[in-house]
Amino acid sequence: MRYLLYGLLALLGVLALLVLIALIRTLLTPKKTSKWQPKEDPAREAQYANTLSRMVQVETVSHKGQIQREKFLGFQKVLEELFPLVHSRLEKTEIDGALLYCWKGKHHDRPLVLMGHQDVVPAEGTWEHEPFSGDIADGKVWGRGSADTKCSVMAFLQAAEELLAAGYEPEQDVYLSSSNTEEVGGDGCPKLVAELERRGVKPYLVNDEGGSIVTEPMAGVVGNYAMIGVLEKGQGNLLISARSNGGHSSYPPKNSPIVRLSRFVCALEKHSPMRSQMNRQAKEMFSSMAPYGPFYLRLLFGNLWLFKPLLVKLMPSISAQAAALLRTTVAPTMQTGSDGCNVLPQEATLTLNLRYIPHQDMEESNAAIEALAKRYDLEVRVLDAYRSCEPVDTQNPAFALVRETIGEVFPNLPVIPYVMTGGTDARFYQKICGACVRFSPVVYGPAQMKGMHGLNENLDTYSLPGAVDYYKTLIRKNR
């Protein structure tokens, strides 16, 4: 017993020493501050806001399983009016509404692809400004697509338009890519990638949406930060089915389909089969952000060598967003039962949306769901699924090009690599490019984050000049 006590005291002593070392390291590490703020440029803001407004006014809602080519051809007529030099001097390819522009450079060994999608999600509910009004008010462009992502499409087309007007010839080939099925996971972008494959094009860098300039990305981390998506989680939809002989609701049996599904969901909620783990990209994100936070964040995230196991254990219970960074997430999204209030269903179903993390990817996560479902006599069918994407190496020269461009256009703006929990078209480009960076050079504050796929989507007009300059600079610097 005495030796056990000595061992426990020794362990506590070692832990106390390690915590003391972490405290000293934190105290000796200077606190950093994000100092970047958008510059005022009223004339350009007004010009670009009007351009974006015109684009928002065209309804381009996509629907799963529908091509809707004519709708997007109508939108592209507006693009021809807004960007005449792009359409007269660049080689344009249109495939079922998806767009690809080729701007030939002096060299062809480091092609650059700039991306953003034309399509938007439906606009339901009551809005302050009509969703396809494109109203410019209170320093914002209002409407569906203003932030996701007609702003990016506007910015890179405007960048090309201005460079063409100045007589600029790019050093490397530039491709402007814009699918019309991003929001429904359709085949618009795959068709564009197939076309580039046919031409033998292997992009040096693909710059798509995903990250952005985020205001206060984490509680206590004040200011603006360039959040660059370097890892995109996979995604799957699973149909969970419970069957029975049905019957009248006046004499319900035990373990009817809905009861079994309910127990399954409760078990999934209380005891998730998904493992939490902090991968290299998450560690890089937290350690990069640590110097900008309050003392407790600098202590915890600045000393992951000590606190990582504790954070992995606690973070999923602190917030849903934190959990999504560390593990595969499972969200029940749709349910069906019987058609009558007094009828027991012969079949009830539940749809789960999964976002796969690399350390427990598609196959393993689906297997974990199937094992749990089996305990409740449920069937599992995979409706659709794809694995997580290969992460971008932040030491890659192409990533360094993005970092340098941000530093030049947005001085003093910290660059933070991060794990994306949403999906983008960039995943389709990964088969032909090893550096698919997810970053839109616009500012997303709380209002923009709230409006994403929700009510009152908008974008601050002060974001627009910097976005255009970012794409112009990236084109110039790619040599």
Nearest to 364 by CA among 341, 348, 387: 387
Strands 443-444, 212-215: pairing kind? parallel
pLDDT in tens, 275-333: 999 999 999 999 999 999 999 999 999 999 999 999 999 888 878 888 899 999 999 99
d(CA 170, CA 183): 31
For each successive 10 residues of the chain (479 residues), what is the average pLDDT? Answer: 69 80 88 92 97 98 94 98 98 98 97 98 95 97 96 98 98 98 95 98 97 91 95 96 87 90 95 94 94 93 92 86 92 93 93 96 97 97 95 95 98 94 94 96 90 92 97 97
Is residue 265 in some structural domain?
Answer: yes
Domain end among 358, 386, 414: 386
Strand order in the sheet with 140-142: 136-137, 140-142, 458-460
367 and 409 within one domain: no
Domain end among 324, 351, 386: 386
286 and 210 within one domain: no
Q: Report which secondary-structure segment, H or E, holds 53.
A: helix 42-56
d(CA 365, CA 358): 10
Q: Could you please report the per-residue DSSP string of 442-458? A: SEE-HHHHHHTTSSS-E
Q: What per-residue confidence (pLDDT) applies to 266?
A: 96
201 and 143 within one domain: yes
In a 13 Å sphere around the CA of 377, the CA atoms on its Cβ side amount to 11
Q: Which amino acid is at 191?
A: K
381 and 416 within one domain: no
On whether the CB atoms of residues 402 and 228 are closer than 8 A, the answer is yes
Token representation of residue 332? 């029940």
pLDDT in tens, 318-338: 788 888 999 999 999 999 999
Q: Report which secondary-structure segment, H or E, holds 369.
A: helix 362-375
Is residue 29 in some structural domain?
Answer: no
On whether the CB atoms of residues 380 and 239 are closer than 8 A, the answer is yes
Q: What per-residue confidence (pLDDT) applies to 248?
A: 78
Instruction: Using DSSP, state whether 418 is helix, strand or coil.
Output: strand
Nearest to 476 by CA among 239, 211, 19, 166: 166
Is residue 150 in some structural domain?
Answer: yes
173 and 247 within one domain: no
Domain count within the chain: 2
Residue 336's Cβ-count burial label (10 Å; 0-12, 13-18, 19+) is middle
Instruction: Using DSSP, state whether 315 is helix, strand or coil.
Output: helix
Is residue 224 in some structural domain?
Answer: yes
CA-atom Rg of the chain in angstroms: 25
299 and 204 within one domain: no
Is residue 19 in some structural domain?
Answer: no
177 and 103 within one domain: yes
Is residue 239 in some structural domain?
Answer: yes
On whether the CB atoms of residues 119 and 182 are closer than 8 A, the answer is yes
Token representation of residue 228? 């660059």
Domain end among 347, 362, 386: 386
* Strands annotated E in 159-245: 172-178, 205-208, 212-215, 224-232, 234-243
d(CA 315, CA 309): 10
pTM of the entire structure? 0.92
The domain that holds 159 is classified in CATH as 3.40.630.10
Instruction: Find the domain containing 310 and state its range.
Output: 233-386
Q: Which residue is associated with the tokens 């976002």?
A: 355
135 and 246 within one domain: no
374 and 300 within one domain: yes
Nearest to 48 by CA among 115, 173, 138, 139: 139
412 and 376 within one domain: no
Is residue 1 in some structural domain?
Answer: no
Nearest to 261 by CA among 319, 340, 344: 344
Is residue 432 in some structural domain?
Answer: yes
310 and 174 within one domain: no
The domain that holds 287 is classified in CATH as 3.30.70.360
315 and 195 within one domain: no
- φ/ψ (deg, to 5) at 379: -100, 150
